[in-house]
């Protein structure tokens, strides 16, 4: 409860008396005030009361008088005097630090670029170069078969080696593997190797897994920012979680021109990738089983090289007993490799004829 002067000021301001419909009503601010030494006289505006104003006239006059006495002057010399600050406030003010502090955290040296793999095949730079990427590796095992316990990283490496051997036997292309052992590569490094080698085709080999053990068959994915279906989106999200275009100097052009050049190059690359995907399904269908809708689209990171035709080849389902046994056998891997070889040869023969 405040001082009686404060209460008196509030009461005298809030108090009012007026006439409504021929009856006098009084609304007084709710307050306790000291009248004749007593603190229990209460006048309230919580509800309208039919009272005679004269009964409270003495109290109203007393409250008004006390309020006038307690009200500080609003002008004159007292108003012109500067307000004194409390000594505690002055002592509490922040002071500028005497010296500045800095924290230095070593971040280490930049990671060196991944060494380029050896290019195998005829020593002829005119021959097209195919880069084969064995998915996963190192601490990333990929999918694990519930039937034979085979890990995807081991299965894909064995298939990549089989494809390399078949392509080298044709003597028509050169071949390089992104990894030829059990090592981990981030996704950008995989297609980065193909770009640094100026590859003509990039094939990323994988083996899928699904909750439904009946799902089986191979599929081929090409790049698209919009997935062809929910399953393609799910697979792309899972794979992406593991983490100078065509000789044109983009630095010589403005941002708008560079963006147009990249867009045109990537459109051409995506068309070439889709053409090879259809070839791969057609040529390998005699050697292995494909899904009903074999050519699919998703936004895989490993397919985002803007100037290298790229496909992601899901060779089967390790979660399916038949597919797992097929991919684990040497005969099954050889069939996969033969299908890839036929598709690669036709692909480059068409491109050579178009030039």
- Using 50, 70 and 90 to split pLDDT, how confident is the model at 12? very low
Structure tokens at 98: 């005497």
Quickly count helices (H) and strands (E) in the chain: 10, 10
Predicted pLDDT of residue 314? 97
Q: Residue 289 — φ and ψ, nearest 5°? A: -90, 135
pLDDT tens sequence across 37-88 = 444 444 444 444 444 445 556 666 666 666 555 555 555 555 555 555 555 5
pLDDT tens sequence across 171-206 = 999 999 999 999 999 998 999 999 999 999 999 999
| Cα 253 from Cα 334, distance rounded (Å) | 47
Angle at CA of residue 126, ends 123 and 130, nearest 5°: 80
According to DSSP H, which parts of the chain are helical? 4-14, 57-70, 77-80, 87-92, 152-170, 187-196, 230-241, 255-284, 321-328, 330-354
Q: How many residues belong to the chain?
A: 355
Which pTM does this prediction carry?
Answer: 0.64
- Using 50, 70 and 90 to split pLDDT, how confident is the model at 319? very high
Q: Residue 220 — φ and ψ, nearest 5°? A: -125, 130
36: left (phi over 0), alpha (psi -120 to 50) or beta: left
Stated as kind and residue range, the H or E segment containing 131 is strand 129-134
Predicted pLDDT of residue 22? 42
Predicted pLDDT of residue 33? 43
Over residues 128-150, the mean pLDDT reads 95
Q: What is the mean pLDDT of the chain?
A: 77
Residue 179 carries which DSSP code? Answer: -
Predicted pLDDT of residue 42? 45
Percent of the chain exceeding pLDDT 90 equals: 50
- Using 50, 70 and 90 to split pLDDT, how confident is the model at 105? confident
Percent of the chain exceeding pLDDT 70 equals: 60
Find all residues with CB under 8 Å of 180, minimum gap 6, and list them. Answer: 117, 157, 161
**CA dihedral in degrees (323, 203, 273, 310; nearest 10)?**
130
Q: Which domains does the chain have, with CATH numbers?
A: 4-72 (no CATH), 129-354 (3.40.630.40)
Token match 């007026």: residue?
Answer: 18
Structure tokens at 348: 């480059």
pLDDT tens sequence across 270-317 = 899 999 999 999 999 999 999 999 999 988 989 988 889 999 999 999
| Cα 305 from Cα 178, distance rounded (Å) | 15
Residue 243 carries which DSSP code? Answer: -
Helix (H, G, I), strand (E, B) or coil at 96: coil
């Amino acid at each position: 409860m405040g001082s009686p002067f404060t209460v008196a000021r509030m009461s005298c301001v809030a108090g009012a008396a007026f006439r409504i419909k021929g009856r006098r009503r009084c609304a007084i601010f709710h307050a306790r005030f000291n009248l004749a030494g007593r603190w229990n006289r209460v006048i309230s505006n919580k509800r309208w009361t039919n009272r005679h104003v004269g009964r409270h006239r003495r109290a109203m006059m007393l409250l008004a008088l006390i309020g006038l006495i307690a009200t500080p002057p609003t002008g004159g010399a007292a108003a012109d005097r500067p307000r004194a600050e409390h000594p505690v406030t002055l002592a509490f003010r922040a002071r500028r630090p005497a010296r500045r502090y800095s924290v230095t955290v070593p971040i280490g040296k930049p990671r060196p670029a991944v060494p380029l793999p050896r290019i195998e095949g005829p020593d002829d730079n005119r021959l097209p170069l195919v880069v084969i990427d064995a998915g996963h590796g190192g601490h990333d095992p990929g999918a694990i078969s519930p039937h034979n316990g085979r890990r995807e990283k081991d299965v894909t490496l064995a298939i990549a080696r089989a494809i390399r051997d078949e392509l080298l036997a044709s003597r028509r292309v050169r071949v390089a593997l992104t990894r030829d052992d059990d090592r981990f590569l981030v996704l950008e490094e995989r297609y980065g190797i193909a770009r640094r080698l100026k590859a003509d085709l990039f094939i990323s080999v994988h083996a899928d897994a699904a909750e439904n053990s009946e799902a089986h068959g191979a599929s081929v994915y090409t790049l698209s920012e919009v997935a062809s279906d929910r399953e393609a989106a799910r697979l792309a999200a899972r794979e992406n979680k593991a983490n100078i275009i065509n000789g044109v100097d983009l630095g010589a052009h403005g941002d708008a021109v560079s963006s147009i050049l990249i867009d045109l190059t990537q459109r051409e690359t995506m068309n070439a990738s889709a053409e090879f995907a259809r070839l791969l399904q057609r040529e390998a269908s005699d050697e292995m089983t494909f899904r009903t809708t074999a050519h699919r689209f998703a936004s895989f990171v490993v397919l985002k090289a803007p100037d290298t035709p790229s496909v992601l080849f899901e060779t089967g389902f390790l979660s399916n007993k038949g597919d797992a046994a097929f991919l684990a056998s040497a005969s099954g891997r050889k069939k996969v490799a033969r299908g890839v070889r036929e598709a690669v040869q036709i692909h480059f023969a068409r491109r050579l004829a178009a030039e």
